[in-house]
Chain A
């Protein structure tokens, strides 16, 4: 390595040299600086080379269309799974938000109570200060709902008595678990009340599930992201190897590492972008393919549910991530490889 000897006597004159012009300070004798161009023209040259390399790398991809497509497809497949999971999760998060509002207590009344008595119990419940709203579901109404939700009309028509009790759905003022527990205790003590069920547990369980889903998606995202890095890295490694001679020659005549790296970084970014676009296509196709049975299934439960789509925001994120991953994979591969390439 260079010996960090300090020029003890010669003071450096003038402005502090820029990084590229630094050799002017490295030796003592008067000599031309190692950079001659102005910043403006240097920037134009830099932009020109970027443009040239962006186009050149596309041309190289198109020269081997099948190979490039296969690489992009591998990237796309690696991206589809975490993206699909993320979509599922985002729809679960929607449900979760709805469930937050529907954190309720259900007060089941004793089965022998008639409708008038049920009305009085509802008034007593509503008188509780911790209760926000109440909704009475009579035994007959409960039966009707039950039949509709499950499509069991024929089977239940055979029953002579309505086995369902009347119930009151209570929305509490506070959804804090302790407050709901206390309220449920007080409501259970009212006369005519058989049982109070707190639906909070389900909300909690769903929240844990969502948390689990988030973590699984994150872990898979990281894992498959690494997969994309490896796919691009390996492709670029081969590309660097096939252009080894060219790299050696340009380094001999003064190319910087950045100059050598640039075309490969563009290749990597294009692979990533192509893979991202293919992944979007696969997600759309998959969504279309699943939409019909999902809707039929939801309809059979009397619910309207459609598969979530990525949308413009999600697509942008997916494409940026895939492009960035491609670029990064290329950067790692080229940088590792450049260290081993020494001009002869």
Chain B
């Protein structure tokens, strides 16, 4: 699903965020990405989302060499990836329903299809009863679940999450991780960047550990 081949990423010509990074993630795998802040976790996710291009090496996601995607193809590429952000990136001027509906509206799904899938997605994260609420009326944990609902509403084959439990207490964090495991169980490839080592070691999934932009450990590979 994801293949990094000797990837390097420099910013501003000097600072090397990633270097000599090689690994691959199979279809349907669940992988944690860990390391101290500044180790390159976010840079790695940004490469997969094609917000950046590698300075060196090759990044292939779902068969697409991301450096060779034309700008006009990038939107269609991104629709295959669901992304959960640490700060949710919800739009505060519209209801939960319309936030979750956004990816489907972008893809041009019919209103009936949108309603059906948004409700299924909200139901999955346990927020169906809040569909009319505005994001501001929700707690941090609930907002994060809305973010997850939006990320999975168009059934992406790859789900990325950047510190999805960053601001949550341990119990909520465990709930969120359980949700990701559910999606992984139905075949979605999941990659989660997190520095909450206590939580993720308990979950016993494959763990990629980054340090100073290098891969220092690849543990628990199946």
On whether A26 and B103 interact (CB within 8 A), knowing A34-B76, A254-B76, A342-B51, the answer reads no
Query: Are A254 and B107 closer than 8 Å at their CB atoms?
Result: yes
Query: Are B76 and A19 closer than 8 Å at their CB atoms?
Result: no
CA distance in complex: A44, B62 (Å): 28
Contact residues, A304-334 vs B (CB, 8 A):
none
Q: With CB as the reference atom, state the residue of chain A lying closest to B111.
A: A48
CA distance in complex: A3, B108 (Å): 31
- Which of these binds chain B: A139-147, A229-237, A244-252? A244-252
Chain B residues within 8 Å of A116, by CB: none
CA distance in complex: A255, B110 (Å): 16
Query: Are B110 and A250 closer than 8 Å at their CB atoms?
Result: no
27 contacts between A and B (CB under 8 A): A3-B67, A19-B72, A22-B73, A23-B69, A26-B65, A26-B69, A26-B73, A27-B65, A31-B64, A34-B64, A34-B73, A34-B79, A37-B107, A41-B108, A44-B108, A45-B107, A45-B108, A246-B93, A248-B89, A249-B89, A249-B102, A252-B51, A253-B150, A254-B78, A256-B72, A256-B75, A256-B76
Chain B residues within 8 Å of A42, by CB: 108
**A20-B73, A29-B60 given; 10 more Cβ-contact pairs under 8 Å:** A23-B76, A26-B73, A32-B63, A41-B110, A46-B108, A245-B91, A249-B90, A251-B75, A253-B79, A253-B150
CA distance in complex: A155, B32 (Å): 108
Within 8 Å by CB of B105, from A34, A35, A49, A249, lies: A49
Contact residues, A1-27 vs B (CB, 8 A):
2-3, 5, 19-20, 22-23, 26-27
Give, as a whole number of angstroms, the nearest-CB distance from B59 to chain A. Answer: 11
Mark A62-106 against chain B: 1 for CB-CB distance below 8 A, else 0.
000000000000000000000000000000000000000000000
Query: Are A2 and B78 closer than 8 Å at their CB atoms?
Result: no
Query: Are A250 and B64 closer than 8 Å at their CB atoms?
Result: no
* B80 interfacial by beta-carbon distance below 8 Å: yes
Chain A residues within 8 Å of B183, by CB: none
* A259 interfacial by beta-carbon distance below 8 Å: yes
Chain B residues within 8 Å of A293, by CB: none
Query: Are A2 and B76 closer than 8 Å at their CB atoms?
Result: no
Shortest beta-carbon contacts, A-B, top 9: A45-B108, A31-B63, A254-B79, A34-B76, A254-B78, A29-B63, A23-B73, A256-B75, A254-B75
Contact residues, B126-175 vs A (CB, 8 A):
150, 157
* Most chain A CB atoms below 10 A, which of B69, B76, B111: B76
Within 8 Å by CB of A32, from B60, B62, B68, B93, lies: B62
CA distance in complex: A246, B62 (Å): 27
Count A-B pairs with CB separation below 8 Å: 109
* A343 interfacial by beta-carbon distance below 8 Å: yes
Q: With CB as the reference atom, state the residue of chain B lying closest to A251.
A: B75
Query: Are B72 and A2 closer than 8 Å at their CB atoms?
Result: no
Chain A residues within 8 Å of B67, by CB: 2-3
* A30 interfacial by beta-carbon distance below 8 Å: yes
Mark A233-273 against chain B: 1 for CB-CB distance below 8 A, else 0.
00000000000011011111111110100000000000000
Give, as a whole number of angstroms, the nearest-CB distance from A254 to chain B. Answer: 4
Give, as a whole number of angstroms, the nearest-CB distance from A230 to chain B. Answer: 28
On whether A252 and B89 interact (CB within 8 A), knowing A2-B69, A37-B108, A49-B108, the answer reads yes
Within 8 Å by CB of A249, from B72, B75, B91, B107, lies: B91
Chain B residues within 8 Å of A5, by CB: 68
Contact residues, B61-119 vs A (CB, 8 A):
62-65, 67-70, 72-73, 75-80, 83, 89-91, 93, 102-103, 105-111
Give, as a whole number of angstroms, the nearest-CB distance from B89 to chain A. Answer: 5
CA distance in complex: A314, B9 (Å): 60
Chain B residues within 8 Å of A46, by CB: 108
Query: Are B106 and A254 closer than 8 Å at their CB atoms?
Result: yes
* B193 interfacial by beta-carbon distance below 8 Å: no
Q: With CB as the reference atom, state the residue of chain A lying closest to B52.
A: A342
Chain B residues within 8 Å of A23, by CB: 64, 69-70, 73, 76-77
CA distance in complex: A41, B112 (Å): 13
Chain B residues within 8 Å of A246, by CB: 91, 93
Chain B residues within 8 Å of A256, by CB: 72, 75-76
* B49 interfacial by beta-carbon distance below 8 Å: yes
CA distance in complex: A257, B70 (Å): 13
Q: With CB as the reference atom, state the residue of chain B lying closest to A42.
A: B108
Query: Are A253 and B70 closer than 8 Å at their CB atoms?
Result: no
CA distance in complex: A344, B49 (Å): 11
CA distance in complex: A37, B79 (Å): 13
Within 8 Å by CB of B64, from A27, A44, A48, A343, lies: A27
Within 8 Å by CB of A35, from B60, B76, B102, B103, lies: B76
Chain B residues within 8 Å of A28, by CB: 63, 65
Query: Are A252 and B49 closer than 8 Å at their CB atoms?
Result: yes
Chain A residues within 8 Å of B80, by CB: 32, 34
Query: Are B76 and A20 closer than 8 Å at their CB atoms?
Result: yes
CA distance in complex: A42, B70 (Å): 21
